[in-house]
A and B are shown apart, each in its own frame.
Chain A
Amino acid sequence: MAGIRSALDLAEAGRDVVLMDKAYSIGGLMTSLDRTFPTNNCDLCTLSPHLSESGRDLRIELMPLSRLDDVQGEAGEFKATVTSEPRYIDLAKCTACGECYRAFPEAVRFTPGLDHRAPTCMRYPQATPYAFSIDMERCDNIDELVRICPASAILPEDTRKTRTLDVGSIILAPGADLFNPRVLDTYQYGVLPDVVTSLDYERILSASGPTKGELLRPSNGKSPKKIAWIQCVGSRGVQKGLVSYCSSACCMYALKEAMVTRERFGGEVETTIFYMDMRTAGKDYETYLERARNEYGVRLVRSRPHTVEMEPSTGELVLSYFTYDGKVALTERFDMVVLTVGFRIGAELTEMASRLGIELNQHNFAQTGTFNPVATSRPGIYVSGLFESPKDIPATVVQASAAACCAAADLSPLRVVSRKEEELLPERDVEGEEPRIGVFVCDCGFNIGSVVNVAEIAQSMSRLPQVEVSEVVGHGCSRESIEHIQKTIRDRKLNRVVMGACSPRTHETLFQDMLRKAGINKYLLEIANLRDQDAWVHSDRPRDASAKADELMRMAVATVRHARPLTDYHLAMNKDVLVVGGGVAGMSASLSLADMGYRVFLVERSGKLGGVARNVHRTLRGEDVQAGIDALIDRTEHHDRIQVLKNAMIVDHSGMAGMFKTGIQVAPQMFYREIKHGITILATGALPNRPKEYLLGRHKAVVTQLDLDGLLARDPEAARGWNDVVMIQCVGSRVPENPNCSRVCCQAAVKNALRIRELNPDACIYVLYRDMRTAGFDEDYFRKAREQGIIFTPYDLDAKPEVEPSGDAVSVTFTDPILRRRFRLDADCLALSTGFIADEESTEDLGAIFKLPRTPDGYFLEEHVKLRPVDLPIPGFFVAGTAHAPKTIRESIAQGQAVAGRAQTLLARDVINLGAAVAQVDGTKCAACLICVRACPFGVPFINEKGYSEIDPSKCHGCGVCASECPAKAIQLMQFEDDQIMAKLEGLLERIS
């Protein structure tokens, strides 16, 4: 995931990328997940359309089965030595027909075919080799294997190769391994078949998994009625074989698995999750947790399960655990137990790290810092994803884009050579010409030819009117064929082309380029899907397959007659950037973009840069925040490509990606100026929350964690006088008014608690919490705090602590769940973890000015929670920092760099290609009925001053809903016009009625 994202961002930004993977196909862990939280959708299906666009860039060279041996030189001019294992298959020839796989299943590897989501990954051929690979050791009859391949793609002499690459920068996104719970005898994984890991469970749920998506107990193939999840298996532990950190993503995916289970198999299946702390700290994750509990009825038990045993008589699994409220040795029976396993760094990676000379932390993850979260200790080498620290997909995608941004900054300034436009013939004008159709039928080697009688098809097509040429062309997509077809187009003056080939999903762009290079418009093409949707599915009845092929081709020929030359919509790109908000996120974004050579306007509402982070002095890990902030501010204010506008407010906005216009007013005179820019980045931050609770603001002993952080920095002496200190977590967060988790408070509390302990070893420090959410390595400090005698006591919403004044101190009353009684003590300092609250005022105004959607709790809503975490739904808009959701300084900086990484993909272009599949209105037919205006899912159509509907091609997403709902039939969707669809029907049905 991380690797693909970085590669795509860089390729889209016009950079050449080598994408290495030790596996023989890419995709990593995500391709084996069923559905992903919090959308519970099949996300690669949602992602692939975006990817196919970038597929047109041929800038990514893929090196599967490869490893990075050595890196010499400096950032900007590395020499990287790469070894590739033999694949024994010629990628150029392999068509993934699967013959070899059928003949030698044990020797042939082809995950994509087995993974149901693979075709969507194959959508962009250069992104995953749509090809098999061979394990020669396991092949007993190589000659037979070579013989059986219809594309003669087998290379038995293929050997390990070593190459040295000149690269400017390097991104490490090797992911991590999943913990194998076999080492834990207590849960008997590998012994009891019904004890599975979370990944096993994903495969069971997956439509392509071993059970085809049926939920069945591995032991007896019956469907389970009761399933238990055990959290933190192998994580947050100190015993041997365990790791002490928290794997961060597990709580959410366990919830997801439980929810999907309830959703798919309804009430029949009981789902219970045994957990220590529910760490749902991400954006809207808290509401996800609430849905799991309340809507889906997922049962959550805070507890520590110690053993799983099997009841021999019934085959049930008996799970023993004790809960935190002192109840010990409870047992419960289940049909299945899912072990939620976390992430590990394997030996392979530690070796690589030492080869490359990058530092690792004590857990063998790559060492990074708060102020450069994706930079390794070696300049020019960056890291993203799990190898940096345990995290979920959104965080991974953010880091990937951040890494792409940093990597690009090390490269020589960019000269964009848009390869599509290189040395093309001028386009021949075919307007007014009679259609001269060329029909080309691929046999695709074995794939089509062996089932469909391609020669006969070509014959019968040649008899159709206006068909000039009709012939068979072997592998249509091979270089030779493409050159042949292009020559034919030119020699025979063809102005329409029909390909009888494989799926347009995979090959349309290829054949479109072919037409364009032959000098005719690329939209004069029609593809009949004779492989995936005919030969492959009817191999059992060749005659019918041929008949169907004939019909599919007739449909295509009939349709192509109506094809017309279309022009892709282009937009001149303004390369300046507007960044709104001068906090760490805004400054990081500005600096990254300015360093890449783009001009940045940084608009800050207040008189100072730095935002909320100015009030933070040290991170949990002890880094000096103020020094970092000052450095950021200094660089920002003195960067010659950044113009900082303080005391400035946004007042109006217009335009579209690549040509925005934004009006701002600047204090004190509030004079108005208009900024023209191509990209808009929102980094407006959030506000420190100060709810009127627990005497906050009404008693001097009551402060927020942020106050306390400042106090401890300014006047450490104060802490020395304290006897009792109490901290209350989740004050004003995870409550109806502010439903989500503020993410930063748990580690802030641990940080301040440790600092007080340091200053005053005798003080008693109590932390009253609901869930301690010290994700990742912060867990170590949480443990350290417990070891140092800081007392952590959970509380429930129905038994909240009570606070009343008592002289200079405040008395705090709370329930101790273990002793089950109320405690009362006088605290010299009560620190409330109040976290963040959305800056309603500014997000509301800006949301209105920029027409951007917001979440119910007032944060900006990104385009896609997981896959586009920093893109906003309107092209050209990005969001970073706490304006997106509460997050740490480190995360805000990563997002700041990530938006820069995403922004460069647009900024690198001189024009933006908007494609041609857009809706067009015939003003003479339009009745201005508003139906399209109301129907458009993206609110694009409007009634123009001439009184008819107008659709801005640069905003149209091309879904065609308006066209199909228009009561006046005044709207047509280019490429899918009614007469084209009717022609398809004619082509299919003419001989019937």
Chain B
Amino acid sequence: MITAERKPMEEIIGSVSPYRRILLVGCNECVTVCAAGGRKEVGLLASALKMHFAKEGNPVEIEEVTLERQCDPEYVEELLPRMDQADAVLSMACGCGAQEVARRYKEKPVFPAVNTRFMGASERQGVWAERCAGCGNCVLGITAGVCPIARCSKQLLNGPCGGSTSGKCEVDPDIDCAWQLIWDRLKALGMQERYEDNIPAKDWRTGRGGGPRRIVREDLAS
């Protein structure tokens, strides 16, 4: 899942302050699941902004709408009827959603209300942690199902650095040492010898190194 967090109120206020009629657009996918940009957060932000500007003496109109998925043109199309009453769009979706809205409605300024953080999993209610860096060439098969690229602070591919202390990373004791996790799993799986293989330098072309990526499924694209 893509995770995000609401931007600091001050920044959001700053970005929309020139506008009086704001269309606040949430998304019912990832950002709902990570409680950053679903209907509820949209409602809270709308209320907060209305109060702020009312307090300042120049009230704003805020229209709330939460799309099923803000990164699909068909859903984004649903905003059309509302657009001409809006001076600006404030998006609570991840960067993908905000950009899709901007792409579709060229004449409208679009501002992000959340910071898109990472691809992660929820560890428990209210806690999400990074799990994947989208390198485009998955190594989990040789790292016992724990990704050192996403989860080692130095993305080391050949084992723990000298800073690994009792299972934690030197960078922050709240971070598990990815290589400790890998090693524990290898032991559990009886595959210790796997560790001995030197993993060669990674080809980053499948990742960001190769520039913006896209996937084309010929059979579907046609």
A–B: direct contact at CB < 8 Å:
yes
Which residues on A are within 8 Å of B, measured CB to CB? 925, 927-931, 934-935, 966-970
**A968-B40, A968-B66 known; 5 other A-B pairs, CB under 8 Å?**
A929-B33, A967-B39, A967-B41, A968-B28, A968-B32
Q: Please state if A927 and B38 are interface contacts (CB–CB under 8 Å).
A: yes
Q: Out of A927, A931, A935, which one reaches B28, CB within 8 Å?
A: A927
* Secondary structure type dominating chain A contacts: loop
Q: Out of B33, B122, B124, which one reaches A967, CB within 8 Å?
A: B33
Q: Out of A927, A935, A969, which one reaches B33, CB within 8 Å?
A: A927
Known A967-B41, A968-B38, A969-B39; contact A927-B32, beta-carbon cutoff 8 A? yes
Of all chain A residues, the one with the shortest Cβ separation from B35 is: A967
Q: Out of B32, B43, B66, which one reaches A929, CB within 8 Å?
A: B32
* Chain B window 84-109, contacts with chain A (Cβ cutoff 8 Å), 1 for yes, 0 for no: 00000000000000000000000000
Residues in chain A near residue B38, CB distance under 8 A: 927, 929, 967-969
Q: Please state if B39 and A925 are interface contacts (CB–CB under 8 Å).
A: yes
Rounded to whole angstroms, the CA-CA distance of A665 and B198 in the bound complex is 55
Residues in chain B near residue A929, CB distance under 8 A: 32-33, 35, 38
Rounded to whole angstroms, the CA-CA distance of A967 and B31 in the bound complex is 9
Residues in chain B near residue A966, CB distance under 8 A: 40
Rounded to whole angstroms, the CA-CA distance of A925 and B35 in the bound complex is 14
Residues in chain B near residue A970, CB distance under 8 A: 39
Rounded to whole angstroms, the CA-CA distance of A970 and B41 in the bound complex is 13
Q: Please state if B29 and A931 are interface contacts (CB–CB under 8 Å).
A: no
| 114-140 of chain B: CB within 8 A of chain A | 122, 124-125
Residues in chain A near residue B33, CB distance under 8 A: 927-931, 967
Q: Please state if A931 and B39 are interface contacts (CB–CB under 8 Å).
A: no
Rounded to whole angstroms, the CA-CA distance of A968 and B38 in the bound complex is 5
Rounded to whole angstroms, the CA-CA distance of A928 and B122 in the bound complex is 13
Of all chain A residues, the one with the shortest Cβ separation from B54 is: A993
| 3-27 of chain B: CB within 8 A of chain A | none
Rounded to whole angstroms, the CA-CA distance of A969 and B28 in the bound complex is 10
Which residues on B are within 8 Å of A, measured CB to CB? 28-29, 32-33, 35, 38-41, 43, 66, 122, 124-125
Residues in chain A near residue B122, CB distance under 8 A: 930
- Can you pick out 23 interface pairs between chain A and chain B where the beta carbons lie within 8 Å of each other? A925-B39, A927-B29, A927-B33, A928-B33, A929-B32, A929-B33, A929-B38, A930-B33, A930-B122, A931-B33, A931-B125, A934-B124, A934-B125, A935-B125, A967-B33, A967-B40, A967-B41, A968-B32, A968-B39, A968-B40, A969-B39, A969-B40, A969-B43
Of all chain B residues, the one with the shortest Cβ separation from A933 is: B125
Q: Please state if A931 and B43 are interface contacts (CB–CB under 8 Å).
A: no
Residues in chain B near residue A969, CB distance under 8 A: 38-40, 43
Residues in chain B near residue A925, CB distance under 8 A: 28, 39
Rounded to whole angstroms, the CA-CA distance of A935 and B35 in the bound complex is 13
A19 CB, min distance to chain B CBs, angstroms: 46
Residues in chain B near residue A968, CB distance under 8 A: 28, 32, 38-40, 66
Residues in chain B near residue A935, CB distance under 8 A: 125
Residues in chain B near residue A927, CB distance under 8 A: 28-29, 32-33, 38
Residues in chain A near residue B66, CB distance under 8 A: 968
Residues in chain A near residue B43, CB distance under 8 A: 969
A952 CB, min distance to chain B CBs, angstroms: 21
Of all chain A residues, the one with the shortest Cβ separation from B59 is: A993
Known A925-B39, A927-B38; contact A967-B125, beta-carbon cutoff 8 A? no
Rounded to whole angstroms, the CA-CA distance of A966 and B43 in the bound complex is 12
Nearest first, the 3 A-B pairs at minimum CB distance are: A929-B33, A967-B38, A969-B39
A217 CB, min distance to chain B CBs, angstroms: 49
Residues in chain B near residue A930, CB distance under 8 A: 33, 122
Rounded to whole angstroms, the CA-CA distance of A286 and B81 in the bound complex is 69
Rounded to whole angstroms, the CA-CA distance of A927 and B40 in the bound complex is 12
Residues in chain A near residue B39, CB distance under 8 A: 925, 967-970
Of all chain A residues, the one with the shortest Cβ separation from B1 is: A929
Residues in chain A near residue B29, CB distance under 8 A: 927
Of all chain B residues, the one with the shortest Cβ separation from A934 is: B125
Residue of B32, B39, B41, B66 contacting most chain A CB atoms (<10 Å): B32
Rounded to whole angstroms, the CA-CA distance of A930 and B32 in the bound complex is 11
B222 CB, min distance to chain A CBs, angstroms: 28
Residues in chain B near residue A931, CB distance under 8 A: 33, 35, 125
Of all chain A residues, the one with the shortest Cβ separation from B31 is: A967
Of all chain B residues, the one with the shortest Cβ separation from A969 is: B39
A907 CB, min distance to chain B CBs, angstroms: 39
B110 CB, min distance to chain A CBs, angstroms: 22
Rounded to whole angstroms, the CA-CA distance of A143 and B40 in the bound complex is 63
Of all chain B residues, the one with the shortest Cβ separation from A964 is: B40
Rounded to whole angstroms, the CA-CA distance of A934 and B125 in the bound complex is 7
B36 CB, min distance to chain A CBs, angstroms: 8
Rounded to whole angstroms, the CA-CA distance of A966 and B35 in the bound complex is 9
A986 CB, min distance to chain B CBs, angstroms: 14
Of all chain A residues, the one with the shortest Cβ separation from B30 is: A927
Rounded to whole angstroms, the CA-CA distance of A929 and B41 in the bound complex is 14
Of all chain A residues, the one with the shortest Cβ separation from B124 is: A934
Rounded to whole angstroms, the CA-CA distance of A439 and B122 in the bound complex is 50
Rounded to whole angstroms, the CA-CA distance of A929 and B39 in the bound complex is 13
B25 CB, min distance to chain A CBs, angstroms: 14
A90 CB, min distance to chain B CBs, angstroms: 52
Rounded to whole angstroms, the CA-CA distance of A967 and B40 in the bound complex is 5
Of all chain B residues, the one with the shortest Cβ separation from A967 is: B38
B127 CB, min distance to chain A CBs, angstroms: 11
A24 CB, min distance to chain B CBs, angstroms: 51
Of all chain A residues, the one with the shortest Cβ separation from B39 is: A969
Rounded to whole angstroms, the CA-CA distance of A928 and B28 in the bound complex is 10
Of all chain B residues, the one with the shortest Cβ separation from A970 is: B39
Rounded to whole angstroms, the CA-CA distance of A966 and B39 in the bound complex is 9
Residues in chain A near residue B32, CB distance under 8 A: 927, 929, 967-968
A469 CB, min distance to chain B CBs, angstroms: 36
A932 CB, min distance to chain B CBs, angstroms: 10
Of all chain A residues, the one with the shortest Cβ separation from B38 is: A967
A968 CB, min distance to chain B CBs, angstroms: 5
Rounded to whole angstroms, the CA-CA distance of A966 and B32 in the bound complex is 9
